[in-house]
Amino acid sequence: MSNPNMVGLIRNEVMKIASKKRLAVVGVILVILVSMFTYAQYREIQEKIEKQGTLDWRVELQQEIVDRQNRLASSGIQDEFRQFLEFDLKQKQYYLDNDINPNYPGAPTFIRIFLSQGVTLVLPLFIIIIMADIVSGEYNDGTIKTLLSRPVKRWRILMAKWLTVLLYTSMVMAATVIVCYGISGIVLGYDGWTAPILTGFQASASGEFATEYIHTLPMWKYLLMSAGLAWVVTAVVGTISLMISVLVKNTATGIGAMMAVLIAGTLLSSIGSSWTSSKYLVNLNFDLINYLEGQAPPIEGMSLPFSLTVLGVWTAGCLAVAFWNFTQKDMY
């Protein structure tokens, strides 16, 4: 391959990031978070054993179902929340009827929950920590001048940076799975890869609970799908931060803007479904694993293909803006 080639350019970017030890910071945060969650799980299990004398998931699930029923019976709950509760109730009932434990104890289940909870906030946060200054850092250090007076076209330099974002997205995902498995297994045990799990719950057109698409998957397959969806979301967030990094020369401002995007997404999706056109916002489509679990979507009419399309369009738009700006701009 000719030199300068893309692999060499990516090696350069990896070298810059690696020497800033950002991945190590993310690793430390990950270990601390996972350790805390594992300990919390451990305490919960201990408490249940104390209360019930035994650890029977059927009893537990039955209790949760009763709890949902009680809440539904009480007056004054919002329509959206009622819908969510009904859906959740039916799902739990379905697990119970089919004698499948939705939370089979073990490290794989811990990974499943961590991915599901982390996909909208923690995993994107990691990629932002690593990637926020990938372009703006070069402005701040002045190295952009040296970088862009090389005999390499500007679009290739940005392409290398974007591919590096995707590479680090993969590394964040791998690190998350490995750390979750390693640490939570100490308490929860390391088996459960083949435990069955149900997927394919969905609301029918009329919003009713539909069972026709429900099927069981072995845990490992389910986790692979979860991790894949989480990868997509993290990569999209990485791409948006790349664009912001190109547009905003100050790294701190860039991180702030990205955090605002993330937090606004979480808030909006919990606040309300009345503003239906908000489903076209990129940050309302981050909870892809939701579709796998079969929870009711934040806004009616959203589905996995819909969300993937929205994410795809936004990603393409961000890349177009980033590349156009980066290749056309005068560098002072």
Partner 1 sequence: MSVKPTVQLENVTKIIGKKTIINNISFDIYPGEVFGFLGPNGAGKTTTIRMLVGLIKPTSGKIHICCFDVRKQFVQAMQRLGSIVENPELYKYLSGRENLQMFARMLPDVDEERIQEVIDLVDLTARIDDQVRTYSLGMRQRLGIAQALLGRPDVLILDEPTNGLDPMGIKDLRLFIRKLVDETGLSVLVSSHILSEIELLADRVAIMTHGKIVKVGSVSDLVGALSAGVDWRVSDSFRALAILQESPHVQAAELYDDHTVHTLMDESKTSILNEALMKAGIEVWTIERKVQTLEDLFISLTGGDHIV
Given the rule CB under 8 A, which residues bind partner 1?
2-4, 8-9, 11-12, 15-16, 19-20, 141-146, 148-153, 330-332
Beta carbon nearer to partner 1, 278 or 327: 327
- Strand, helix or coil for residue 306: helix
Residues near 184 by beta carbon (within 8 Å), at least 6 away in sequence: 34, 37, 38, 41, 107, 110, 111
CA–CA distance, 26 with 6 (Å, rounded to integer): 26
Asked if 222 contacts 193 with a C-beta cutoff of 8 angstroms, the reply is: no
Q: Write down the least CB distance from residue 16 to partner 1, Å.
A: 6
Beta carbon nearer to partner 1, 17 or 289: 17
Q: Write down the least CB distance from residue 12 to partner 1, Å.
A: 5
CA–CA distance, 266 with 283 (Å, rounded to integer): 8
Asked if 175 contacts 117 with a C-beta cutoff of 8 angstroms, the reply is: no
CA–CA distance, 271 with 240 (Å, rounded to integer): 24
Q: Write down the least CB distance from residue 255 to partner 1, Å.
A: 19
Beta carbon nearer to partner 1, 164 or 285: 164
Q: Write down the least CB distance from residue 326 to partner 1, Å.
A: 12
Beta carbon nearer to partner 1, 31 or 159: 159
- Strand, helix or coil for residue 132: coil
Beta carbon nearer to partner 1, 58 or 150: 150
